[in-house]
Amino acid sequence: MKPLQTIFIVDDDPIHQQITEIMLNRMAAAENVAKYSDAQEVLEHFRTNLNNNRELPDVILLDLNMPVMDGWEFLEAFTHIRPKLNKEVRIYVLTSSIDEKDRQRVEAFNYVTGYLTKPLTNDIISMICQ
């Protein structure tokens, strides 16, 4: 498994953020792991760094249920930012939701790479890093 440059964890739960970061670091999944509690902050990061690929993540692990801007709103907004990027950013929805309607709704965003349910496992991390 070759480590990715950067992974963004976008989740409002600090415990889940910490556990995910520890797992990613233990598996040397990425050189950098950044944690965000607010998806709006991630969008601002993209807008500021549109042409700076080194500042953009390879992968985003996105929670759906967050208080300020939820994962759905992020995906809607990212739809407009994505065509402006010079780098492919893979998004994995990482959620505790097992609702089939959520899975189907995520599939409408054709650029989302995968729908994963918490908790993250070593096998899933290995798959993400391929």
Cβ–Cβ < 8 Å for 12, 67? yes
Average pLDDT per block of 10 residues along the chain, 130 residues long:
90 95 95 96 96 95 94 97 95 92 94 93 92
Q: What pTM did the predictor assign?
A: 0.96
CATH 3.40.50.2300 applies to domain 4-128 = yes
Cβ–Cβ < 8 Å for 11, 17? yes
State the pLDDT at residue 1. Answer: 72
State the pLDDT at residue 97. Answer: 85
Domain ranges for the chain, please list them: 4-128
Which positions ≥6 away from 103 have C-beta within 8 Å? Answer: 115
Cα distances (angstroms) measured from residue 16 to each of 23, 49, 58: 11, 26, 20
State the pLDDT at residue 94. Answer: 95
Neighbours of 4 (CB within 10 A): 20
State the pLDDT at residue 2. Answer: 77
